[in-house]
Amino acid sequence: MAERKQVINTIPLLGAGTFRLKDDDAYKSVSMALEVGFRHIDTAQIYDNEAAVGRAIKDSGVARDALFVTTKVWNENLNQEKFVTSVKESLTKLQLDYVDLLLIHWPCPENGETMAEYLAELLRVKEMGLTKAIGISNFTVAQTEQAVSILGEGVIATNQVEVHPYLNNIKVRQACAKHNIKVTGYMPFAVGKVLNDDTILAIAEKHKVSAAEVVIAWELAHGLVTIPSSTKRKNLETNLKALDLTLDAEDMAKIDGLDCGDRQADPDFAPAWDA
């Protein structure tokens, strides 16, 4: 358990996401993120940008031990035949010997493999030294419980799920808290929707900061890791400023009250979400 706590504590609370960023956009975004001070970079096999991310990391000159890099294994690779090979391919693209965190991207294997099979592969990759920590993503309450029953307590570092003011995802967060699993909230801005919310804009005006800073500070105040993305240096710099913003109890309550179940990431293969 002590080892797992150490792993969790080393996940930088604020990271730079790369979802939907391709080729040169991904390279420039990661390069700028590292230049302005981000040290946590999040990518995935399905994003098709690991090579661009890897080039940006290499060209940045930032020491490897100062970085925290996450990638995720895609649905078609969740089996004994492809899992390890796919991770090695990811590392080749990233130009890294290991990642800091490797996740199961979705609990939705293309060929119906069991969770026991692909979690065993996830653990094997960790034992091989190809990742420092392992975790899950888009797992429901029931699936999180199942994953813990398979791997045991203290093995899963995080569950990366959609969390923003319009989707608190509280049931999953509570299930993770029960097992001391850190929650990473992706899509914190709900694809920009919450940045135009009147309540959030009023809080931003109160603190003389941007709406983005308010949203990120809200996530951080709830103990979440979060990974907003941007292709603009100014926005990346603004996102990083959220680390210095403290919201009061009234602010937090108002933002909590915006939850309306407005989920953005809901592909046709998604699990049956918790209400």
- Residues of the binding site: 105
156-162 and 68-73 beta bridge pairing: unpaired
Q: Is 69 helix (H, G, I), strand (E, B) or coil?
A: strand
| Residue of 27, 47, 166, 186 with catalytic role | 47
| Beta strand 225-226 pairing with 182-186 | parallel
Cα gap 72→271, rounded to integer Å: 17
Residue 70, helix vs strand vs coil: strand
| Pairing status of strand 99-104 against strand 68-73 | parallel
Q: Give CA 24 to chain center in angstroms.
A: 22
* Calpha distance 96→265 (Å, rounded): 29
Residue set of the binding site for substrate: 105
Is 166 known to be catalytic? no
How far is Cα of residue 65 from the mean position of the Cα atoms in its chain? Answer: 19
191: left (phi over 0), alpha (psi -120 to 50) or beta: left
Contacts of residue 272, Cβ cutoff 8 Å, sequence gap at least 6: 140
Token duo for residue 50 = 């690991």
Catalytic residues: 47
